Amino acid sequence: MKRRRVFVLLSLSMLLISCKKKDDKQTTDAVTMEASSANEGEKFVTQWGSDDFYTEDFALYHTDHGRLQIFDVASKSDRVFCFDPGCEHDKYRKVEVSPDGIETVVEEGCMARNISSYTVMVQGDHLCFVKYPRDVIQSDLQGKNRKVIATIPPYSPVQRIIYYKDAIFGDYSTSYEILEIEGENGEPDWIYGEMKEKDTAGIARVNLNDGMSSEIFKREDYSAGLYYLTVRGTHLYFAYTYSEMQYMAPDGQMWRPMQEEWKDLSVEEYLEEREKRCWMEIYDYDIDSGEVRCVMNGLRRGRVVFCNGFFAVQPGLPGDGNKTTLYRYTGEAFRELEGFTLSQVYCDRHLVGLCDGEYQMIDEDTGEVLKRVRNPDNPCFYPKVFIGKSCYGGVAGEDWISTSAYISSEDFWNGKFENVILMNDKEK
């Protein structure tokens, strides 16, 4: 994401170095702040489909077992994101006893477990995360002094949030009616009502200064869904997908087509028929003016990467050969960029693509390949995020279990994959 103003970033390396020395007995005052002198480029990336938060200097990520960890680039150290001395993390259990003696487990596992759902991010000297289903919590960097700073409206539990200056964008998709009821303290609460034939998908914008919210996008369709929310400059981009028809049989039988003529198809044939009827549209929301508009429709459902001034679409249908199509988007019009046959695309300061087993850094204006490196197979590192001097990804081991991993961009482009660091290899 691109920020217009210089952002204050924290130095977590100090914290981590002090943690290493004293293990879990560190004090919280080791956290220091420093104003970043870096220019206004991309400062952080949240990876679609994961809860992880990446910056050049550190990553807040979840292990395969759902525990929040922090990896610090400067010290190459990795630890559980919990600052309670002596905490045993998973064994932590908080029970509340009511006046009449009824015990209720209110927390299972410490904050490293608690902050395990939805997007977590560091903004200035605060940590922000969503507490299920829709409360946005702000805390200090140790997860303490928590307060609810916004509640995303009750359209449905929020799937993901994106922060932009003093606003939060949250997206949702639901098949159910949402009904308002009276909650515990007479406050409104919401429950699910009837299941509907079509899904509703939308995006809410919450102003963090006054807590006011508005719905900036809402659609109702078969299999309606929102994907790839990305802020670039002062625009929010996203992909909306839907289907021409309902897939589920009314009796709830999973994955059976509604169409009589499809009933004898193999699973593969059925999925292909299904995908042919799934569509994707690209939207551009101007954060300042509030205008939202569709800039492209009629696309096959697939993966989208929004970069600066262009976006890449990679169809999900196997028959399309995984070919990525790049579109130059000027804010008014788009055109297809020819000559790119990339099977995977990432956005860094330049476009990064995978082409015939080779990663290429490409000047998207000229098409010139600036850097190239063979895709390594030992260790088999695959990138997920490029952000300035850092590259985060995964490693496929012998049993094909992926593990969070880090390599510096310099080592990556020099092919020094022996320097890949496994981030959560200490987890039991």
Per rule CB under 5 A, is residue 12 in the interface with Zn ion?
Answer: no
Shorter beta-carbon distance to Zn ion: residue 87 or 167: 87
Which range of residues in 110-118, 218-226, 341-349, 405-413 is near Zn ion by CB under 5 A?
A: 110-118
Which range of residues in 80-88, 265-273, 321-329, 398-406 is near Zn ion by CB under 5 A?
A: 80-88
Q: Which long-range contacts (CB under 8 A, 24 or more apart) does 132-137 make?
A: 132/157, 133/157, 133/158, 134/158, 134/170, 136/161, 136/168, 136/206
Per rule CB under 5 A, is residue 380 in the interface with Zn ion?
Answer: no
Question: Is residue 148 within 8 Å of residue 137, measured between CB atoms?
Answer: yes
Closest CB 81 distance from Zn ion, rounded Å: 8
Closest CB 46 distance from Zn ion, rounded Å: 23
Closest CB 85 distance from Zn ion, rounded Å: 10
Which range of residues in 84-92, 267-275, 309-317, 397-405 is near Zn ion by CB under 5 A?
A: 84-92
How far is the CA of 421 from the CAs of 75, 77, 308, 344, in angstroms?
12, 10, 29, 23
x/- binding map, residues 252-291, to Zn ion, per CB under 5 A? ----------------------------------------
Residue 335: exposure state from Cβ atoms within 10 A (0-12, 13-18, ≥19): exposed
Per rule CB under 5 A, is residue 110 in the interface with Zn ion?
Answer: yes
Per rule CB under 5 A, is residue 152 in the interface with Zn ion?
Answer: no
∠ CA 15-382-397, nearest 5°, is 90
d(CA 417, CA 376): 7
Closest CB 127 distance from Zn ion, rounded Å: 15
With tokens 């078969």, the residue in question is: 222
Shorter beta-carbon distance to Zn ion: residue 68 or 305: 68
Per rule CB under 5 A, is residue 89 in the interface with Zn ion?
Answer: yes
Which of 9, 31, 82, 347 is in the footprint of Zn ion by CB under 5 A? 82
Strand partners, 77: 72
And the tokens for 110? 């410490």
Shorter beta-carbon distance to Zn ion: residue 28 or 375: 28
DSSP letters, 5-47, are: SPPEEEEHHHHHHHHHHHGGG--GGG-EEEE--S-SSB-EEE-
Closest CB 137 distance from Zn ion, rounded Å: 17
Query: Smallest Cα–Cα separation from 223: which of 174, 258, 269, 257?
Result: 174
Which range of residues in 76-84, 141-149, 306-314, 373-381 is near Zn ion by CB under 5 A?
A: 76-84
Query: Smallest Cα–Cα separation from 149: which of 159, 169, 135?
Result: 135
d(CA 48, CA 260): 36
Which of 1, 14, 87, 265 is in the footprint of Zn ion by CB under 5 A? 87
Closest CB 27 distance from Zn ion, rounded Å: 15
Which range of residues in 40-48, 75-83, 160-168, 231-239 is near Zn ion by CB under 5 A?
A: 75-83
Considering CB under 5 A, how many residues would be counted as binding Zn ion?
4
Which range of residues in 68-76, 78-86, 199-207, 351-359 is near Zn ion by CB under 5 A?
A: 78-86
Q: Which residues contact 150 (CB under 8 A, 6 or more apart)?
A: 135, 136, 168, 206, 208, 211, 213
Per rule CB under 5 A, is residue 142 in the interface with Zn ion?
Answer: no
Q: Which residues of this protein are in contact with Zn ion, per CB under 5 A?
A: 82, 87, 89, 110
